[in-house]
Structure 1
Amino acid sequence: MSVFKKIAFVFVLTHVVFNLSVGQTNGTKSVVDSLNELLQKEKNTNVHWRLLLERAVQRPASNYEQAVMEATSVLDHYREENDEEGTTDAYIALGNIHNQQKDYKKALHYDSLALALAEKANFAKGKVLAYRNLGRESVAAGNILEAKTNYEKALELELTFNDKDSDLERLLSYYNQLGITNRILGKFEASATYLNEGIRLAEKNGRDRALAQLYMNLGNTFSETSRYEEAVTMHLRSVKIKEHLNDSLGLGQSFTNLSIVFRAAKEFDKAIAYLRKSQQINSAFKNHKGSGLNAANLAVIYIEKKELDSVPVFFEQAIANFSRASDNRGLALAFHNYGKFLFDMNRLDTAEIMMEKALALRKKAGSDTEISTTLANLGQLEMSRGNFAKAEHYLLDAQHRIDTTKTTRALSDLYTYLSELYRHQKNYEKAFAYLKKVLMLEKNSFTENERVALLKAESKYELEKRDLELALEREKQRDHQFRLFLIGVLIAMALIAIISVLWIRRKQVKERHQSQLQQLTQTHRIATAQALRKVEEEERKKIANKLHDEVGALLSIAKLNVDQLEADVFAKDSEAVLKLQTAKKLLGDMGETVRAISHSLVPVALEKYGLKPAILDLINAVNISGKIKVEEVIEGLDRADDWSDEFRFGLYRILQEVLNNIIKHAQATHVLVQLVELERSLTIYVEDNGKGLDMATGANGMGLNLLKRNIEYFNGVIEINGRQNQGTFVLIELPLDTASAH
């Protein structure tokens, strides 16, 4: 494999790793703010700790230390409570926080603790999440086989859950991740199987965002097996969904993948065009990581096109964007590949600077595989300068770190460099030993390449065969399902018709019975109420007549006798005269009181002159007191004599009760009374400027309750509204159909 092809492979792998991380978004400020509000209101201690843990996970990367502190406090709490499930969740949260910060070692540490504790406590959900996160960390470390194993375990557990406990989004993500990892490992049929199953689930449940990712990654699998037309079809399906969702960043990712398909098909101009589109989106959204990947891929394309003048510019752009994104892994990769390119251009000093930067970043990340690759390149560089001791130091350090159990291009290159080094040092025994290892690896690599090519061909054949079989099976299933559906529809329609007829008849009978019962109840209620009000009015008249005719007459006779007695017996200005005058005054007051009670029981003006004059008389009586000024506006009521006595008396007493309440409680100096007769209703509006009404307490007084019952009797409605020291208004509406119905 040439240097340029190795660079291309590394950037494709990097883009795959980038795909794996898509969808793991950081908590936004709005989410954290919402959790802050919930935490302030929450009284339940258990829920409080859960919310605190969720807030720690949702905090943005800029609040890393605060997020760690919060999650650690929750972890300590659950440990003290011996809550193993809570402790597991806290470990997983800390793993997520450190992964977001790209501290993969700490993330791996906490997720491993989570898995161990979840297995001990038999906490199935904890195990699923721990396996998922361990798969994520394995990808970050470049251990794709281990990542695949972890995702398989997570999927296996997820499929054992019932619908209540299972999470469709997690399930779709496992199918997606397994499709990606199997593709990287060359297991293309397995990759397509997982991705197709994910697509089936996503289409069935309407999960468009996940469907777009699955289409895109199936396109990547087709691209690996040289099925470029199908790859483009899948990517364009993904693009269509992302356009519908306004997922601009997702579109940028799809455009990048389309560029990889066209580059693999040697259509470099189309590949560059799609990268330019992706770059525009990444620039608009300041997606520096995506911009870094695009610049790196453009460098690879121009290397393959043999147009090398632009390559340094693209590498510089990649380095700048990875730096802005604080993506040390991408930055290390860009430094490494740029250094290798500069070495091939014989610019050794600048190449050394790039490689040293890559080595420092990779040592910080702790991936031995990546460290060994950079060490090997530095060894080759020092060897070209003739610094054999320094070259030997770099190369042996690389050998110590690299996995020698696997046949890889990197291991073959390292052994080649060591053989060449010892040949220069004239240590022919070691040089020959390493040369034998190189030949053995080349032999294994040749066999491996043949196997991969065969696997690709077999996978392509199996995929095509499986697609045809699935299409045929789907067609048969559709025919069978349509026949069953047609039969089911006919049966269902017949059952629905029968049930509908029975249900409608039963409903009609029930409604008829209920209507009759309600009508009977209403008639009885009205009759009873009318009888009670009739008796009440008759009793009022009797009492008023007795007070007026008998008690009033007796009081008048008594007053006449006292007057006569004063004239005949007592001397003027005597003390007896004063006592007698006091008695006369009391008798006069008693007479006025009896007269007032009599008129309140049965308003004389209402009986003699009608409703409108009686109301004016009532308002005038209040005005005469001089304490309250009542202003009236009356529209209509000219045909009130046609209304029933019950309605007229009821209306009069409703207004009387409202004015009495104002006089007793409102401390008002001005009252506005409006009575408006409409076509079908009568509106009474009374407003005062008094101290207002406390709606919490005063709205349920005895007087107001009596007023409300009187209004309800006539099927009327009342609205009362009052504010402290801002007066009160009362709005009453009475339907006029009750004026003749009662």
Structure 2
Amino acid sequence: MPQMFKSIIFLSFLSFFCISNAQNSKKTPSQKSTPLELQEKRVVSDAFNLLNKNEDKKAYKTAHRLLKESRIKASLTNSNLLLAFYFNKRSQIDSSLFYTQKAMRLNPIANDSLTCRLYSLGYNLLAINNKKRGLLGESKKWHIKGIDISQKFNETDLYYTHVHGLALTYSDLGDYNNALKLFQQCLDYKQSREIMIGSYINIGDIYSILKEYEKSNWYLYKVKALCEKGSDFQAKAVIAYNLGANYQYQNKIEEAISLYNEAIEIADKNELPQIAINARLSVGNILLERKKTEEAKDIFSSALNDAIKLGYLTEQGNIYDNLQEISLMQNDYKDAYFYAGKSVKIKDSIAHLQKEKEINELEVKFKTWQKEKEISLLQIENKANVLELKNKEEALQFFNLQEEINQKANENKILSLNNISQKKASEIVSLKKDQLLKTAEINWQKQTKNITFISFVVFLIPIIGLLFLYYQRLKTQRLLNLSEKEISEQKIISLVKDQELKLIKASIKGQDKARAKIAQELHDSIGGNLAAIKLQLNSIASKPDIVHSIREQLEETYQQVRDLSHNLIPEKFSQNKFSSLLEEYQKSLAEIDHLKTSFTAYPRQKIDSITESLQMEIYKIIQELVTNTLKHAKATTIDLQLNYVEDNLNILFEDNGIGFDSQKKEEGIGFKNINSRLYSVSGSMEIDSMINRGTIINIDIPLNEFHFKTE
């Protein structure tokens, strides 16, 4: 039976941020916004509107431009948050988390309403991304933090956003009573259409889990009517999926399959991969129940590839379980054992990630307890010191009283001793004279010793200084020698790499030129001659039998030459799928030390059907990009993405190298070659790079029906 899929509506969160962005413009009279600040706020607001209208590429470019050019903190914060929503919408979890944390670091203390909105939106993104990874405890924690901070500053819209998200998490955890209460609470919030839609869908989903299918269908059909006239593609896909699940539970299999296929079609068309994966899993379960193991295995394998690329741990575990069951049904125990191991590994990974978070929290609590204990001990020690000080003061007072008593008792003794003192005074005077003479002699000896010591120190300090300077010079010389040695080694390595790249490029270019030249010669010279002979023979009618025989032989020869000329296109493009060829090329780059590569193509089938001549141009453009990165960027990662959207092929090439100033840097031979090839296919290129931040190159090539192979 299918596993139910919980929906999250993202558009409301984007509109909320636009509201917060508008509030940011409110300042005190002493803090009026400058014209530049007002202009950039309008640009950011327009970019969020573009994202809401599914014009994602324009919003993405605007955000990157602001990150590169702006020096205003609010603009940088909003641009990072916009990119976080952009990648979240595409289920690219790591990228979304990176830009979320970057935005929150720009505003470290949430002590006012404006910063509260930023943190609340950041907590929501953290919760959503952790939920997508299957870390439900972590998702619950971030939603509760978002609710607390929203209540503190009376942010109603963000409060209901987190209530809705927390209800989804409760539902995933199986706490349906609390989930239903929170979703019903969200239905009372009429200001957000998206939250209402999400609440209707999830209430229907929970009733389906509770096997109250009539109630479930009532809520789902009600929200379906609400979405009919809108562009809520994600909601439409989820509704179709959940209705299909209800029909499957009611054993209405054909209706269920029809609705699942409807969900897959909407999800694929609008880039909603998680919904598409779950719908394919449900269709695979139906095929498995019908004992159609091979068909089920194909659809599970397809879903597994998407789940691995997008990092969906829970879905991977479910798919491995199903593939294990299929292998057991086919008596393939080796594959069954393999899939069982994969499933256990995925589940252990999820448990480990959650356990690691719990351990970190316990460690923080333990350290806090230790600090509190230390503070308590210090407080006790302080009190003891205060008491001890008071005791000493009382003892001093007692001692003073005792002294006064003794002084009065001694006054009488003093009178009797005065006479004795006067007698001894004369003796003391004579003794003092002797003492003064001895003191003068001692002082003279001390002065002599001091002068000797100071002279020695004055003489020693310059010697120490010279020794220190000599040591520093030796140390600097050694470091300079080491630096020169490292620079020489780097130059040698760079020259070797450049030479290897030049040899590889020259070899490939020479092979392609030789093949093209042979093909052109065969087609233009031999083929042209045969065609001319054929035309001349068509005019001979006196000997029809001989003419017919010659014409057939010439026709066969002409066809062979034509086929040969077409077959001389490089074999790697004619015998391999283009996406696989690029993927193998990326893997070969990974053999270079300290270099990680990744490659994605969507949709692969459409990209593989591009004509071979255009494939060759694209392949050479990518080779030039890789060559530039290896020669100049000092990168450790290379990411290549190909996407075909709306009759347009987009190539996104990104590295984490040292970058460069794209406005000041002169165009080298590599970029000139790329621009020349792009000109031949009417393409365009945008470069986004800064010093020490890496490089992003965005290439667009318009395509039409003539750019694709005919079957």
Q: TM-score, normalised by structure 1?
A: 0.40
Larger relative contact order (C-alpha < 8 A, sep ≥ 6)?
2
Larger radius of gyration: 1
